[in-house]
């Protein structure tokens, strides 16, 4: 493999090359990060659009390797020196470290919840009062498991429909009447300015989000110490602590990033004192017939290094408890 080339941007006339997927959402969130990078480095930033296998394939994610297929082309470009840094949706990033690359920053998290978009503005409970089965589109086994479990508990008729595509495509399925509703990440709708189209923000008590949902990861070559130090200014310690706990849980369960696993670590927003973190996790079969859902809490130390260490411990502890309750038999796939 080609060794990472030194990043450009050694003077103000040479822009840093920020790699991003080409979707509307990816470009929007990369643009937000680009502005933060400009302020941190004093350098211009150029967005470099890169197509990934996940963007061009029409197969279901589980068939092509899960959501990790969205990051491989960006990482290849980083290692080849074609770009200087890359922005990923953290929920798409495999939990194992990648040789030669470092997660230099995890900026402050957006809303981690899922959002429901319906054709007529009805919320989830109103939708499920219909006399016929309600068709809800989602490409995530995690959402299918929890939505179907909720419907079973409340005696509602629900059919989850596997769909793929960008935000525009998915909302189009609802507007055309092909399905009754879709579930999307609220963070994505916020970043593209379409959150007002959500009929409801789904409470985590009903559907736990994907580990890392709503957060972004900024990656660069681990050998570029100068850029790594500059990008560290974008890092939000509370967000990093929360997503570290969630991703440690995912890794300890040996589940792939498209497995039916939900997780959310609750911490105060940045700038507030955090003394305790609550971590919730869920694993379930996609039909909702079987769920393992548990939570744990732990103190949050003052130093950033200890926060990460404590987050990892909480994630491993909760994973052990969930595995003891039978979580391994509900996932259906190994780590990516």
- What residues are labeled active site? 91-92, 142-143, 164, 170, 257
Q: Which residues lie closer than 8 Å to 294 by C-beta, 6 or more apart?
A: 280, 281, 318, 321, 322, 325
Instruction: State the helix-helix crossing angle for 24-41 and 167-175, rounded to 10 degrees.
Output: 140
Quickly count: other Cβ atoms within 10 Å of residue 310's Cβ: 19
Q: What is the DSSP letter of 221?
A: E
| Residues 330 and 290: beta-carbon distance below 8 Å | yes
Residue 194, SS3?
coil
H helices, E strands: number in the chain = 11, 13
| CA-to-CA dists, residue 68 to 61, 75, 193, 202, angstroms | 9, 11, 26, 25
- Determine the Cα–Cα distance for residues 125 and 150; give it in Å rounded to an integer: 10
- Determine the Cα–Cα distance for residues 46 and 177; give it in Å rounded to an integer: 39
Q: Which residues lie closer than 8 Å to 39 by C-beta, 6 or more apart?
A: none
- List the structure tokens of 216: 């972004």
Question: Each residue of 104-135: b (16+ CB within 10 Å) or e?
Answer: bbbbbbbbbbbbbbbbeebebeebbeeeeebb
| Residues 68 and 336: beta-carbon distance below 8 Å | yes
In degrees rounded to 5, what are phi and psi of residue 198? Answer: -80, 130
């Amino acid at each position: 493999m080609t060794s990472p080339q030194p990043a450009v941007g050694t003077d103000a006339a040479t822009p840093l090359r920020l790699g991003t997927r080409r979707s509307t959402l990816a470009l929007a969130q990369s643009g937000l990060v680009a502005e933060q990078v400009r302020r941190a480095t004093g350098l211009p930033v150029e967005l470099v659009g890169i197509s990934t296998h996940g963007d061009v394939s029409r197969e279901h994610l589980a068939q092509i390797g899960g959501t990790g297929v969205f990051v491989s082309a960006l990482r290849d470009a980083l290692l080849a020196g074609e770009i200087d840094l890359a922005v990923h949706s953290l929920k798409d990033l495999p939990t194992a470290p990648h040789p030669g690359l470092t997660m230099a920053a995890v900026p402050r998290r957006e809303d981690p919840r899922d959002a429901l978009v319906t054709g007529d503005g009805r919320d989830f409970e109103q939708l499920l009062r219909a006399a016929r089965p309600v068709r809800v589109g989602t490409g995530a086994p995690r959402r299918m498991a929890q939505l179907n479990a909720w419907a079973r508990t409340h005696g509602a008729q629900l059919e989850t429909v596997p769909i793929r595509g960008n935000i525009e495509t998915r909302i189009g399925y609802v507007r055309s009447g092909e399905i009754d509703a879709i579930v999307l990440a609220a963070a994505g709708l916020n970043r593209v300015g379409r959150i007002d189209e959500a009929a409801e923000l789904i409470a985590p008590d009903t559907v736990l989000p994907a580990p890392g949902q709503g957060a972004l990861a900024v990656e660069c070559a681990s050998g570029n110490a100068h850029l790594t130090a500059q990008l560290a200014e974008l890092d939000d310690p509370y967000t990093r602590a929360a997503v570290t706990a969630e991703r440690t849980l995912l890794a300890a369960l040996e589940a792939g990033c498209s497995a039916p696993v939900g997780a959310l670590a609750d911490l105060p927003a940045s700038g507030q004192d955090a003394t305790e973190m609550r971590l919730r996790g869920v694993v379930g079969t996609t039909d909702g017939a079987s769920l393992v859902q548990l939570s744990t809490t732990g103190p949050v130390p003052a130093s950033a290094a200890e926060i990460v260490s404590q987050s990892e411990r909480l994630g491993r502890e909760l994973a052990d408890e969930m595995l003891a309750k039978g979580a391994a038999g509900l996932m259906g796939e190994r780590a990516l």
